[in-house]
Amino acid sequence: MTTVACPACGSEHSGAVGAGGFHCKTCLRDVWSLTCKKCHAPLVFHGSATGTGTLEVRCASCRARNLFDKQRLRAIVTESKRLGRMNAAAAKHAAQAERAKIAQASQSMQSHVAARNQELHDYMDQLRSVLESDVKSPLRFDFSRLKVSVDPPTFEPGELLTEEPMPDRAAFAPVEPRGVAAHMPGARKQYEAAVQEGQARLQGALQARYERETVRKEALAQARAAFEARQAAHVVATTTQHQAVDEMERKYGEGDSDAITEYFEAVLGAISWPFERARDDRVAYSKDSRQLVVEVEMPDFGVVPEVREYKYIKSRNEESATQLPASQRRAIYASLIAQVALRVLNVIFGADSHDVLDGVVLNGHVETIDLRTGQGIHPCLVTLRTTREVFAALNLQSVEPAACLKGLNASVSKDPAELAPVRPVLEFDMVDPRFVTETDVLSELDARPNLMDLTPNEFESLITNLFEKMGLETRLTQASRDGGVDCVAFDSRPVLGGKVVIQAKRYKNTVGVSAVRDLFGTMQNEGASKGILVTTSGYGSASFTFAAGKPLELLDGANLLYLLRAHAGIEAVIIPPEDWSDPVPDQADVQ
């Protein structure tokens, strides 16, 4: 936009300024921008050009006299005013367009910020209600969901289904001559010849249609046969898959470990989470204790947003982010870990339609990077063991997740965001069924020792050696009445260490809860800080219920084999002889 100053009063003018001059609205004078006719220097003149005749303007540079026609000058001013009005209108329109553009950009940015805030708030609501959403709309999972339901194939022959119409006979018949034409010489012979020719062409058309219809019908028959084959294959595949699911359900009801593991892997895989996870969950089943061991993959700390809210800065038409305080992020993450654990337990017990589970051991791990070393780690952030009865007594609609885990005697990381680990109640690999069931096909060639074939002294030495390898100072006591080993050990670690009472029982059947009570009593009499019961078999839910919240650790046969392999380098098996008899349990022994 052009801006000039009036040489008479100094006021600035813009918009309504033409190329040759303008009219000052302040001092009411006409102003021209002219050129000296002699030296071509600019002439700035202000005054009045009324009347007729010429106007003299002397050049300030060469002092030459310049004569200008007054009517011409007035015409210049008039044209300049017109151009000035046009420029002013264009400038106004451009300003309006620019303001509209700015307003549109502002509105677009505000909408963008509002959308991001809505997305952020919805996501945060999902994180805060992981457990609540499952309680309100629980995952209904049973074996029927494992049955594949694929729509059967449909028969789509297309044009093959459409029969070709018969030729129109009238189209092949000649027009019979009438009137004068019928009496023309040779008319009848020509007509009869035309009739014969039409008959011949009709027969050719019928033959061609017959051949095409034969091809069509053959193609239709092939298409139908292919469809029926696909249909039969679909029925066979569906029936086979459904029978496999029914067979798995039958084995599940019988307590088959593989069927139970496969089923609950599918159950956990059906859970929908509002975040991505690094790996799938793992499941193992201990038949002796009717206990499911689950290694749940927890979300990492990064799933909790760093931003609390987005704001729109109007002066810069920019987006600004308000950070979520670190303390709040940590609190949200800790609550999320607790909610995930409780939701998994709720889904598992809800999906156990045949009541094969007495209890569940849950270890919640997270796949992440140790920022101190840059190496990948998989720490355990929460671990617990609970029974069906205890969990069924919870009202998950009203619990506070962290407090609920505490009530379940769970061990929870003191600072999950910092990946402070906890020791699992039971290592997942310790219940891997391969440690128990994986034997050589030719058992007589299996070089691994069978723990059930050892003498009592050999078994005592084995257990003593194991816990020495694990860092304890062991001292044997007198042999127990059930052919196991009583051992007093010492954990030399400061604060966490102390006296440990260990008892091992070579049993074929489930160890009763009375053995756990006896161990707890022995531990108290000895003034020990911890008691460990090891068996070649397993434990019932009553044993785990009694041990909950007490400094007792129950290790079953799979655990024992794992520890021997990991700490003592001993590959062993547990195969009770057919004539093996466990000690007679006490009358008060409830499994």
Q: Which residue has the tokens 């801006």?
A: 3
The residue with greater pLDDT, 442 or 176, is 176
What CATH number is attached to the domain comprising 481? 3.40.1350.10
pLDDT at 484: 57
Indicate whether 105 belongs to any domain.
Answer: no
Question: Quick check: helix, strand or coil at residue 282?
Answer: strand
Please check the confidence at residue 278 and state whether its pLDDT lies above 80: yes
Beginning with the edge strand found earlier in the chain, give each strand of the sheet holding 530-535 in spatial order: 473-476, 485-491, 498-505, 530-535, 552-555
Residue 578 one-letter amino acid: E
Please check the confidence at residue 297 and state whether its pLDDT lies above 90: yes
**Mean pLDDT in residue range 346-364:** 92
CA–CA distance, 327 with 156 (Å, rounded to integer): 63
- The domain tally of the chain equals 3
What SS3 string covers 79-103? HHHHHHHHHHHHHHHHHHHHHHHHH
Indicate whether 346 belongs to any domain.
Answer: no
**Mean pLDDT in residue range 478-484:** 52
Which pair of tokens denotes residue 69?
């026609």
- Does residue 431 come out as left (phi exceeding 0), alpha (psi in the -120 to 50 range) or beta? alpha
Residue pair 568/430 in contact by the 8 Å Cβ criterion: no
Please give the share of the chain, as a percent, with pLDDT higher than 90: 35
Q: Give helix 70-128 / helix 326-351 axis angle, nearest 10°.
A: 50
CA–CA distance, 196 with 218 (Å, rounded to integer): 33
Choose one of 221, 238, 253: the last residue of a domain: 253
DSSP-derived letter for residue 249 is H
| 530-535 and 498-505 strand pairing | parallel
Q: What is the pLDDT of residues 179-229, one digit of tens each?
A: 877 778 887 888 888 888 889 998 999 999 999 999 999 999 999 999 999
* 159 and 79 in a common domain: no
CA–CA distance, 391 with 400 (Å, rounded to integer): 14
Q: What is the pLDDT of residues 98-112, one digit of tens each?
A: 888 888 888 888 999
* 93 and 170 in a common domain: no
- Between the alpha carbon of residue 581 and those of residues 455, 541, 585, 590, the distances in Å are 15, 22, 11, 18
- Does residue 415 come out as left (phi exceeding 0), alpha (psi in the -120 to 50 range) or beta? beta
Indicate whether 423 belongs to any domain.
Answer: no
pLDDT at 405: 94
| 359-365 and 291-297 strand pairing | parallel
CA–CA distance, 519 with 459 (Å, rounded to integer): 19
The residue with greater pLDDT, 334 or 443, is 334
CA–CA distance, 452 with 506 (Å, rounded to integer): 7
* 160 and 230 in a common domain: yes
Alpha-helix runs per DSSP H in 285-387: 326-351
pLDDT at 391: 93
* 150 and 79 in a common domain: no
Could you count the other beta carbons within 10 Å of the beta carbon of residue 162?
10
Indicate whether 277 belongs to any domain.
Answer: no
pLDDT at 287: 81
Please check the confidence at residue 435 and state whether its pLDDT lies above 80: no
Coarse DSSP helix, strand, coil percentages of the chain, rounded to the nearest 5 percent:
45, 20, 35
The residue with greater pLDDT, 474 or 503, is 503
Q: Which residue has the tokens 């020719």?
A: 197
Q: How remote is the C-alpha of 105 from its chain's centroid?
A: 34
Indicate whether 136 belongs to any domain.
Answer: no
Choose one of 253, 271, 290: the last residue of a domain: 253
CA–CA distance, 522 with 517 (Å, rounded to integer): 9
Q: What is the pLDDT of residues 109-134, one digit of tens each?
A: 899 999 999 999 999 999 999 999 88
pLDDT at 126: 93
Indicate whether 506 belongs to any domain.
Answer: yes
* 34 and 152 in a common domain: no
CA–CA distance, 158 with 87 (Å, rounded to integer): 69
**Mean pLDDT in residue range 36-40:** 83
pLDDT at 165: 92
Q: What is the pLDDT of residues 465-480, one digit of tens each?
A: 888 888 887 776 655 5
Instruction: Kindly tell me the burial class for residue 340, based on how many C-beta atoms sit within 10 Å of its own C-beta (0-12, 13-18, 19 or more).
Output: buried
Residue pair 17/76 in contact by the 8 Å Cβ criterion: no
Could you count the other beta carbons within 10 Å of the beta carbon of residue 179?
7
In this prediction, residue 23 has a pLDDT band, given cuts at 50, 70 and 90, of low
Indicate whether 427 belongs to any domain.
Answer: no
| Host domain of residue 498 | 438-568
Choose one of 253, 287, 320: the last residue of a domain: 253
Reported as type and span, the H/E element at residue 218 is helix 187-253
Indicate whether 137 belongs to any domain.
Answer: no
**Mean pLDDT in residue range 556-584:** 84
